[in-house]
Amino acid sequence: MLLMAVAGLGVGCGNPDEAPAKETAQELTEAEARALYIRKCSLCHGDDGKLMASKSPDLSQSNLSLAERVALVTYGKGTMPGQKGTLNRSEIRAVAQYIERFRE
């Protein structure tokens, strides 16, 4: 009985800033994904993914999987800031998918 009470206390614990586990998945249009990319990424990566400012990689040469790109956009790497706090999961996924178009 005590074990069940202790386990029940842990259910409500967690990071209050963390997004709820059940987020409504919303597909973004290509135009919306492009607008997010332009606003968040193009300063360093350029409109075509090739600018390479601030030591950013040429996205046309990337061989990362979609999952790897989602993780990179979410958490960042090196000088690239993560977007977890500024974009939701659907937006991050849309940007990661949009980057696909730059591959040669």
| Domain ranges across the chain | 27-102
pLDDT tens digits, 49-76 = 999 998 899 999 999 999 999 999 999 9
Rounded to the nearest integer, the mean pLDDT of the chain is 81
Show the tokens assigned to 3: 């074990």
Segment 32-36 mean pLDDT: 97
Please give the average per-residue pLDDT across 7-15, as a whole number.
36
Beta-carbon-side half-sphere exposure of residue 96 (alpha carbons within 13 Å)? 25
pTM confidence score: 0.73
Between 67 and 103, the more confident residue is: 67
The reported pLDDT for the residue numbered 104 is 75
Choices 3.20.20.70, 3.40.50.300, 1.10.760.10, 3.30.499.10: CATH for 27-102: 1.10.760.10
